[in-house]
Amino acid sequence: MTSIIEFKQVSKAFDGKTVIDNLDLTIQKGEIFVLVGPSGSGKTTTLKMINALSEPTEGDIYFKEKRIKDYNIQKMRWQMGYVLQQIALFPTMDVKQNIEVIPEMLGWSKKDRSEAVDRLLKQVQLDPEQYRHRLPKALSGGEQQRIGILRALAANPEVILMDEPFSALDPISRNALQELVLALHQELGTTIVFVTHNMKEAIKLGSRIAVMNKGKIVQCDTPEVIIAQPKTQFVKTFFEETGDDEAKLVKVADLVEMGYYSQEIDQTLETVNADTMLNNTYPLFAKSAALTIIDNDQAIGTLNNQNVFAFLSRESNVNQQ
């Protein structure tokens, strides 16, 4: 894959306090790259440095192999959509006007802007005839954030930056918008850099996840590897505390009942009992990518880390929340 964003020995300090510490990072073109970590870990500062809302104290950041400091910053930002947690629609502008902001700045014709607005609204299942001229106050929180995402996409940017965009929404809206991001990414292939404090959201969305703590990346891997092989106790604990509550309540037998396993049996594998709690399987997956499931002293199938990942990253039954 081709890299689109690179951090090379980047540090950032505020009032003499280091918040980003000698960061080396490469984001590949077309991936959803998730920065996850507790409050104060440096993830939002890292995101803001990508579009020069914050400048590094030391080191260089590259966009398409050119230093960000060497760009015309305003023109570079037009290549990067930005979605915030605070739904920042212009309150006196209708939906169409909000989505058109950047295309209008770029000199698109009125016809091209209108066509883009209608096409984008249809992509997120909002009827243009019903929504085009609504003001933000007439929209639900989830609908407002959909418009925020469309505004970020409107000018066909190469990168979308998303800073905890769903954390203030109710569970139903949050799950729906996570699915929307995945669907739009599959359709458009845009590079997305996504910040969250929740590991479950990270494993659902991320092609790769960078776990941050105290201004450093402590592990950067695919979701499957982080689930099965956390590199440090911090990563293991953070995953269990923020993204894994459900795994403490379900057993391997529950995954079997829901179909998250294979009926094929390999007698050479390590075994796991069907009564084992799911979160207790992680140390086993650190040693083996698959386990033979034993129920009543009989092998009934195979559980692998992909099965566990699929279960954890599925859309939750939000009606139970």
User: Against a cut of 0.75, is the pTM above it?
Assistant: yes
Cα-based distances in Å from 221 to 198, 211, 229, 290, 304: 16, 9, 10, 19, 18
Contact 216, 41 (CB under 8 A): no
245 pLDDT tier (thresholds 50, 70, 90): low
Give the H/E segment covering residue 315.
Answer: none
Using CA atoms, how far apart are residues 192 and 80, in angstroms rounded to an integer? 10
- Quick one: CA dihedral 242, 246, 251, 257, positive or negative? negative
Mean pLDDT taken over the chain: 89
The mean pLDDT of 284-312, rounded to a whole number, is: 86
The closest alpha carbon to 302, from 280, 276, 272, 258, belongs to 272
- Going by pLDDT thresholds of 50, 70 and 90, the confidence category of residue 286 is low
Determine the Cα–Cα distance for residues 86 and 166; give it in Å rounded to an integer. Answer: 9
- pLDDT tier for residue 319 given thresholds of 50, 70 and 90: very low
Q: Which pLDDT score, from 0 to 100, does residue 317 have?
A: 42
Select from 117, 173, 172 the least CA-distant residue to 141: 173
Q: What gap in Å lies between CA 141 and CA 89, rounded to an integer?
A: 11
Look at 89 and 319; give whichever has higher pLDDT.
Answer: 89
The mean pLDDT of 232-242, rounded to a whole number, is 83
User: What order of strands is seen across the sheet that includes strand 3-14?
Assistant: 17-28, 3-14, 58-63, 66-67
Is the pLDDT reported for residue 134 higher than 80?
A: yes
Q: Take residue 287 and report the two structure tokens written for it.
A: 């040693």
**pLDDT tens-digit profile of 209-222?**
999 999 999 999 99
Q: For residues 35-60, give the mean pLDDT.
A: 95
Task: Look at residue 161 in the predicted model and tell me its pLDDT.
Answer: 96
Q: Give the C-alpha separation, 198 to 111, whole Å.
A: 41
Residue range 88-108: mean pLDDT, rounded: 93
Average pLDDT over residues 143-157: 91
Return the closest-CA partner of residue 153 out of 94, 216, 97, 82. Answer: 82
Model pLDDT, residue 115: 94
Q: Could you give all domains of the chain from N- to C-terminal order, each with its CATH number?
A: 3-242 (3.40.50.300), 248-320 (3.90.1280.20)
H-state helical runs in 87-140: 95-99, 101-105, 110-123, 128-131
How much is the average pLDDT of 80-106? 90
Q: Which of 5-9, 86-90, 124-128, 305-309 has the highest mean pLDDT?
A: 5-9
Structure-block tokens of residue 96: 């169409």
pLDDT of the residue at 318? 39
Strand spans (E) along the chain:
3-14, 17-28, 32-36, 58-63, 66-67, 80-83, 159-163, 191-196, 208-213, 216-221, 271-273, 290-295, 298-304
Summarize pLDDT for 109-124 with one digit per residue, the tens. Answer: 999 999 999 999 998 8
* DSSP conformational letter for 294: E
Identify the pLDDT of residue 174: 82
What's the confidence (pLDDT) of residue 123?
A: 87
Q: Residue 2 has what DSSP assignment?
A: -
| Structure confidence at residue 246 (pLDDT) | 62
Rounded to the nearest 5 degrees, what angle is found at the Cα of 252, between the Cα atoms of 248 and 255? 100
Residue appearing with tokens 């951090």: 7
Residue carrying the six token digits 């049996």 = 265
Helix (H) / strand (E) containing 78: none
Q: Which two tokens stand for residue 135?
A: 């003001």
Pick the range with the lowest mean pLDDT from 102-111, 185-194, 228-237: 228-237
Question: Lowest-pLDDT range, 38-42, 45-49, 126-130, 172-176?
Answer: 172-176
What per-residue confidence (pLDDT) applies to 321?
A: 36
Output 249 or 250, whichever has higher pLDDT: 250
